Amino acid sequence: MRSLLLASALLLSVHAGAQDDCFSRYINRGRDFLKKEQFNDAIRQFNLARNCPNVSSRQQEEAIDWIEEANQQNIELLEYYREQAYAKRDSALAEAQQARDRAMALLHASGALQANERGDVQDGLALAFRALKLSPETPPPFVLRAFGESAYLSHLETRSGFDREVVFANFAMDEKQYITVSRDSTMRIWNRDGSAAAAAPIRHEGYILSTTLSPSGEQVLTTSTDQTAWVWDLKSKAFTHFIGHEDEVTSGNFSPDGTKVVTCSRDQTAILWGRKGQMMATLKGHKGPVYEAHFSPDGTKVLTRSADQTAKLWNMAGTLLADLDAHSVYLYDASFSADGQFILTAGGDGFLRIWDAEGKLVQSMPHGESLVRSAFFSPPCPEGLECPFGDGQTILALSTDGVVRLWDLQGRLLVNMQSASPAHWAGFSPDGNYILAACEDKVTRLWKTNGQLMAEMEQKAKILSCRFNPRKEQFITISADNTASLWNYKGELLMELNGHKAPILNVQFSSDGNYIISCSEDRTVLLSPTPDVVLASLEAAPPPPLPAEKLVKYGISQ
Q: Please tell me which residue, 208 or 410, carries the higher pLDDT value.
A: 208
Q: How confident is the model at residue 6 (pLDDT cuts 50, 70, 90)?
A: very low
Mean pLDDT of 279-288: 97
288 located within any domain: no
What is the maximum alpha-carbon separation in the chain? 145
Question: At residue 322, does pLDDT exceed 80?
Answer: yes
* Structure confidence by residue, pLDDT tens digits, 52-97: 998 898 998 998 999 999 899 988 888 888 888 888 888 877 777 7
Question: At residue 342, does pLDDT exceed 60?
Answer: yes
DSSP letter at 403?
-
- The count of structural domains within the chain is 1
Neighbours of 22 (CB within 10 A): 17
Mean pLDDT of 420-444: 93
d(CA 245, CA 240): 15
Mean pLDDT of 281-310: 97
- pLDDT the model gives residue 9: 32
Single out the residue of 483, 424, 163 nearest to residue 180, CA to CA: 163
Concatenated DSSP letters of 87-98 = HHHHHHHHHHHH
Single out the residue of 293, 214, 285 nearest to residue 249, CA to CA: 293
Neighbours of 243 (CB within 10 A): 11
99 located within any domain: no
Q: How confident is the model at residue 19 (pLDDT cuts 50, 70, 90)?
A: low
Phi–psi pair at 513, nearest 5 degrees: 75, 5
Question: At residue 14, does pLDDT exceed 90?
Answer: no
Mean pLDDT of 436-457: 95
Mean pLDDT of 319-327: 93
- pLDDT the model gives residue 5: 30
Question: At residue 16, does pLDDT exceed 80?
Answer: no
Mean pLDDT of 458-469: 96
Q: Please tell me which residue, 169 or 400, carries the higher pLDDT value.
A: 169
21 located within any domain: yes
Could you tell me what percentage of the chain is helix, strand and coil, using 3-state DSSP and rounding each to the nearest 5? 25, 35, 35
Question: At residue 438, does pLDDT exceed 50?
Answer: yes
53 located within any domain: yes
Single out the residue of 535, 543, 517, 536 nearest to residue 194, CA to CA: 517
Q: How confident is the model at residue 425 (pLDDT cuts 50, 70, 90)?
A: very high
- pLDDT the model gives residue 10: 30
Q: Which domain holds residue 37?
A: 2-80
Q: How confident is the model at residue 13 (pLDDT cuts 50, 70, 90)?
A: very low
Neighbours of 57 (CB within 10 A): 7
Mean pLDDT of 429-446: 94
Mean pLDDT of 144-149: 97
pTM greater than 0.85: no
Q: How confident is the model at residue 289 (pLDDT cuts 50, 70, 90)?
A: very high
- pLDDT the model gives residue 95: 73
Phi–psi pair at 405, nearest 5 degrees: -130, 150
Q: Which residues 6+ apart lie within 8 Å of 405 measured at CB? A: 367, 396, 397, 398, 399, 413, 415, 416, 417
Q: What is the mean pLDDT of the chain?
A: 91
* Structure confidence by residue, pLDDT tens digits, 187-224: 999 999 999 888 788 899 999 999 999 999 999 999 99
Contacts 24+ apart (CB under 8 A), 436-440: 436/466, 436/468, 436/475, 437/398, 437/404, 438/463, 438/464, 438/465, 438/466, 438/477, 439/402, 439/463, 440/402
Q: Which of 162-166, 281-285, 291-295, 554-558 has the lowest mean pLDDT?
A: 554-558
Q: How confident is the model at residue 367 (pLDDT cuts 50, 70, 90)?
A: confident
111 located within any domain: no
Question: At residue 44, does pLDDT exceed 70?
Answer: yes
CA quadruple 179, 292, 479, 534: dihedral sign? negative
Question: At residue 423, does pLDDT exceed 80?
Answer: yes
Q: How confident is the model at residue 155 (pLDDT cuts 50, 70, 90)?
A: very high
Mean pLDDT of 532-556: 93
54 located within any domain: yes
E strands, 15-97, in order: none
Q: Which residues 6+ apart lie within 8 Å of 41 measured at CB? A: 30, 33
Q: Please tell me which residue, 524 or 390, carries the higher pLDDT value.
A: 524
- pLDDT the model gives residue 17: 46
- pLDDT the model gives residue 558: 64
40 located within any domain: yes
d(CA 242, CA 245): 9
Q: How confident is the model at residue 8 (pLDDT cuts 50, 70, 90)?
A: very low
Q: How confident is the model at residue 329 (pLDDT cuts 50, 70, 90)?
A: confident
* Structure confidence by residue, pLDDT tens digits, 238-267: 899 999 999 999 999 999 999 999 999 999
403 located within any domain: no
